[in-house]
A = this chain, B = another copy of it.
Amino acid sequence: MPELRQDIVTGSWVVIATDRALRPTDFSKVRAAEPETGDCPFDPGHETMTPLEVAAIRHDDTEPNSPGWQVRVVPNKFPAFEAGERVEESSAMFPRRAADGSHEVIIHTPDHEKSLATMTVEEVTLILRVYRHRYRANSENPDVRYIHIIVNHGRESGASLEHSHSQLFGVPLVPALVQQELAGASWHHKSKGECVFCRILREELDAGVRIVGETDGFVALAPFASRMPFEVWLVPRLHQESLDMISDGRLEDFAQILKGVLGRYREKFDDPPYNYYIHSAPCDGLNYEYYHWHLEMFPKLTTLGGFELGTSMMINVTTPEHAAAFLGSGLET
């Protein structure tokens, strides 16, 4: 059972989730090779190798937990958050609480070889539709205050399995980096009377030097203070606080620009490992109308060292202006 522990100096919470790596000797396994393709628990026909599915998009007449699915959602076998038992008692010097919540895996496709960059826009749209569905379903969980959806693509980005998939974390608190964004967005809205992300969109489209692509509904841009080389944000033009507010019509648009930028990464860096995650308003019942959801992504080209890990200040070796020029701006549709 995972637990949350708080650092009493900084106030930061850490998830201690030991089921994810049982013994020190397992770290060599963590760093070792992918299981053979034939053993992949995400392949069709291997549905019994995962926990029972909680949702799926399936062809007619196929049974849950059998082949015939296009996108399949299962609980993570080694969850960082789960509903459940209590932990040891907390104290002033050793504050802890249960890591209540949820942790799901969204298997993108039955095809072991495909990735988001090589799927059709229709296939990616289906996955994003499932994001919206699972976002809504997990919002109903009273333990969950924040929903974090990610992709780790490639072992060097933190993926433990190569088969294309997303993870959804239902977190029982609002994480520090999201709190910082909320505080900044709230301050800007109060003092300037405008959403800070709407303003960034307007100013960046005016400046023109950090734009990677545009669709009717989205702008892809290299942010001015990019933390990582070739970092790109996908920002919806419509001011909406939360991913689950996206309309059916915009899902395909979102798929198009997401696949477009991932295709550029693939082309320019030879299928690099990458990470993306979605920042969206908390689902704790409070008012976040000032916030504006978006997706942040970057290829894994460099390694965080003792400077970044010890200061939480990033050293980025590439300007976003260069990144935008190099990735190219031909993603318009």
| A residues neighboring B (CB under 8 Å) | 5-18, 20-21, 24, 27, 30-31, 80, 93-94, 148, 150-152, 155-159, 167, 169, 171, 175-178, 180-181, 184-185, 188, 196-197, 199-200, 203, 223-227, 229-230, 268-269, 275-277, 279, 296, 301-319, 322, 326
Contacts and interface: CB of A to CB of B under 8 A. Distances in A.
B277 A12 contact: no
Determine how many copies of this chain the complex contains.
2
- Which of A10, A167, A177, A227 is most buried by chain B, counting CB atoms within 10 A of its CB? A10
A180 to B, nearest CB: 4
A172 to B, nearest CB: 11
A177 to B, nearest CB: 4
A21 B8 CA distance: 38
Choose among A13, A177, A203 the residue with the greatest number of B CB atoms under 10 Å from its CB. Answer: A177
A266 to B, nearest CB: 14
Contacts of A305: 150, 152, 157-159, 275
B93 A203 contact: yes
Contact of A309 (B30, B80, B277): B277
A200 B10 contact: no
Contacts of A223: 7
Contacts of A7: 184, 223-225, 227
A316 B16 contact: yes
A257 B200 CA distance: 49
A10 B180 contact: yes
Nearest to A317: B21
B296 A11 contact: no
Contacts of A16: 226, 316, 318-319
Given A30-B302, A229-B21, A304-B158, A180 B11 contact: yes
A201 to B, nearest CB: 11
Nearest to A327: B24
A306 B15 contact: no
Contacts of A27: 229, 269, 301-302
A100 B221 CA distance: 28
Contacts of A157: 303, 305-306
A14 B312 contact: no
A313 B181 contact: no
A322 B19 CA distance: 13
Given A27-B301, A176-B311, 8 more contacts: A9-B180, A9-B184, A9-B188, A27-B229, A150-B307, A158-B302, A167-B307, A177-B310
A148 B310 CA distance: 8
Nearest to A197: B9
Q: Which 3 A-B pairs have the closest CB atoms?
A: A158-B305, A150-B306, A277-B310
